[in-house]
Chains A and B, each alone.
Chain A
Amino acid sequence: MELSKELLIDLYTTMVRIRRCDEKVIECLFAGKLITFYHSCQGQEAPGTALGRSLRKDDYLYYNHRGHGLPKVLPKGMSPKTFIAEHYGRATGAAKGYAGFHNCDIEIGIPGMGGMVGGEATLAAGTALACKLRGKGQVTANMFGDGATGRGPFHEAMLMSATWKLPLIWCVENNRYQQWTCISLTHPKEDLADFAHGYGIPSAVVDGQDVIACYEALQPAIERARAGKGPTLLEFKTYRFRPHVEGFPDFSVQCEGGCRPEFEVEEWKKRDPIKLMEATLLEKGVLTEADIERIHREATEEMEEADRFSADSPWPDPKGLDQALYAD
Chain B
Amino acid sequence: MREIKYMDAINEAMKEEMSRDETVYLIGEDVSQDIWGTSCDLFEMFGSERVRDTAISEAAIIGSAVGAAIAGYRPVVNTMFADFAMCGADELLHKAAKWRFTHGGKIRIPMVVRAPAGGYSRLGPEHSQCPESLFMRTPGLKIAMPSTPYDAKGLLKTAIRDNNPVIFLEHKNLMGHTGPVPEEEYLVPFGVADIKREGTDVTVVATGFMVSLAQEVAEVLQQDHDVSLEIVDPRTLEPLDLDTILASVRKTKHLVVVDEETSRCGPAAEIGMLVMENAFDYLDAPIKRVAAANYPIPGGYLEQFVLPQPQAMADAVAAVLGREKLDLQGKVVAKGAM
A: residues with CB less than 8 A from B are 60, 93, 95-99, 102, 104-106, 111-112, 114-116, 119, 121-131, 133-134, 140, 152-153, 156-157, 159-160, 163, 316, 320, 323-328
A159 adjacent to B57 (CB under 8 Å) = yes
B63 adjacent to A96 (CB under 8 Å) = no
Query: In B101-141, which residues have CB < 8 Å from any A CB?
Result: 101-110, 139-140
Question: Measured between alpha carbons, how far is A96 from B89 in the docked complex, in Å?
Answer: 26
Question: Measured between alpha carbons, how far is A125 from B105 in the docked complex, in Å?
Answer: 22
A99 adjacent to B103 (CB under 8 Å) = yes
Q: B279 an interface residue at 8 Å Cβ cutoff?
A: no
A323 adjacent to B105 (CB under 8 Å) = yes
Given contacts A106-B70, A111-B107, 8 further A-B contacts (CB under 8 A): A60-B71, A122-B60, A122-B95, A126-B68, A126-B69, A126-B75, A134-B72, A326-B142
A95 adjacent to B102 (CB under 8 Å) = yes
Question: Measured between alpha carbons, how far is A325 from B110 in the docked complex, in Å?
Answer: 13
A122 adjacent to B106 (CB under 8 Å) = no
Question: Measured between alpha carbons, how far is A96 from B102 in the docked complex, in Å?
Answer: 9
Closest CB in chain B relative to A322 CB, distance in Å: 9
Q: Given that A152-B59, A159-B55 are known contacts, is A123 also in contact with B95, CB under 8 Å in the complex? A: yes
Chain B residue, CB-CB nearest to A100: B102
**Residues of B with C-beta under 8 A to A140:** 67
Question: Measured between alpha carbons, how far is A180 from B231 in the docked complex, in Å?
Answer: 57
Q: B15 an interface residue at 8 Å Cβ cutoff?
A: no
Q: B278 an interface residue at 8 Å Cβ cutoff?
A: no
A153 adjacent to B106 (CB under 8 Å) = no
Closest CB in chain B relative to A325 CB, distance in Å: 5
User: A-facing mask of B76-98, CB < 8 A → 1, else 0?
Assistant: 00000000000010110011000
Q: B163 an interface residue at 8 Å Cβ cutoff?
A: yes
Q: Given that A122-B91, A327-B164 are known contacts, is A130 also in contact with B54, CB under 8 Å in the complex? A: no
A157 adjacent to B64 (CB under 8 Å) = yes
Q: B145 an interface residue at 8 Å Cβ cutoff?
A: no
B60 adjacent to A153 (CB under 8 Å) = yes
**Residues of A with C-beta under 8 A to B109:** 327
Count contacts on B: residues with CB < 8 A to the other chain: 42
**Residues of A with C-beta under 8 A to B54:** 160
Q: Given that A122-B60, A122-B91, A156-B60 are known contacts, is A99 also in contact with B100, CB under 8 Å in the complex? A: no
Question: Measured between alpha carbons, how far is A121 from B88 in the docked complex, in Å?
Answer: 13
Closest CB in chain A relative to B67 CB, distance in Å: 3
Question: Measured between alpha carbons, how far is A131 from B72 in the docked complex, in Å?
Answer: 10
Q: Given that A123-B63, A160-B60 are known contacts, is A98 also in contact with B108, CB under 8 Å in the complex? A: no
**Residues of B with C-beta under 8 A to A99:** 102-104
B103 adjacent to A112 (CB under 8 Å) = yes
B71 adjacent to A114 (CB under 8 Å) = no
Q: B280 an interface residue at 8 Å Cβ cutoff?
A: no
Question: Measured between alpha carbons, how far is A134 from B23 in the docked complex, in Å?
Answer: 9
**Of the residues B63, B72, B103, B140, contact of A125 by C-beta under 8 Å:** B63
B: residues with CB less than 8 A from A are 25, 49, 54-55, 57, 59-60, 62-73, 75, 88, 90-91, 94-95, 99-110, 139-140, 142, 163-164
Q: Given that A104-B107, A106-B70, A130-B72 are known contacts, is A160 also in contact with B102, CB under 8 Å in the complex? A: no
Closest CB in chain A relative to B263 CB, distance in Å: 28
Among A93, A99, A156, A163, chain B packs the most CB atoms within 10 A around the CB of A156
Question: Measured between alpha carbons, how far is A160 from B58 in the docked complex, in Å?
Answer: 11
Question: Measured between alpha carbons, how far is A157 from B186 in the docked complex, in Å?
Answer: 37
B60 adjacent to A130 (CB under 8 Å) = no
Chain B residue, CB-CB nearest to A93: B104
**Of the residues A105, A123, A316, A328, contact of B66 by C-beta under 8 Å:** A123
Question: Measured between alpha carbons, how far is A324 from B104 in the docked complex, in Å?
Answer: 6
17 contacts between A and B (CB under 8 A): A93-B104, A96-B106, A98-B104, A98-B105, A104-B104, A111-B107, A114-B90, A114-B95, A114-B99, A119-B90, A124-B67, A130-B67, A134-B71, A134-B72, A153-B60, A320-B105, A324-B100
**Of the residues B57, B75, B106, B139, contact of A104 by C-beta under 8 Å:** B106
Closest CB in chain B relative to A134 CB, distance in Å: 8
B67 adjacent to A111 (CB under 8 Å) = yes
Q: Given that A104-B106, A115-B94 are known contacts, is A326 also in contact with B140, CB under 8 Å in the complex? A: yes
Among B62, B70, B103, B107, chain A packs the most CB atoms within 10 A around the CB of B103
**Residues of A with C-beta under 8 A to B103:** 95-96, 98-99, 102, 104, 111-112
Question: Measured between alpha carbons, how far is A306 from B252 in the docked complex, in Å?
Answer: 62
Question: Measured between alpha carbons, how far is A97 from B49 in the docked complex, in Å?
Answer: 38
Chain A residue, CB-CB nearest to B60: A156
Chain B residue, CB-CB nearest to A125: B64
Question: Measured between alpha carbons, how far is A125 from B67 in the docked complex, in Å?
Answer: 7
Question: Measured between alpha carbons, how far is A163 from B103 in the docked complex, in Å?
Answer: 31
Q: For the complex of A and B, list the 3 residue pairs with the smallest distance between their C-beta atoms, beginning with the closest.
A: A122-B63, A126-B67, A96-B104
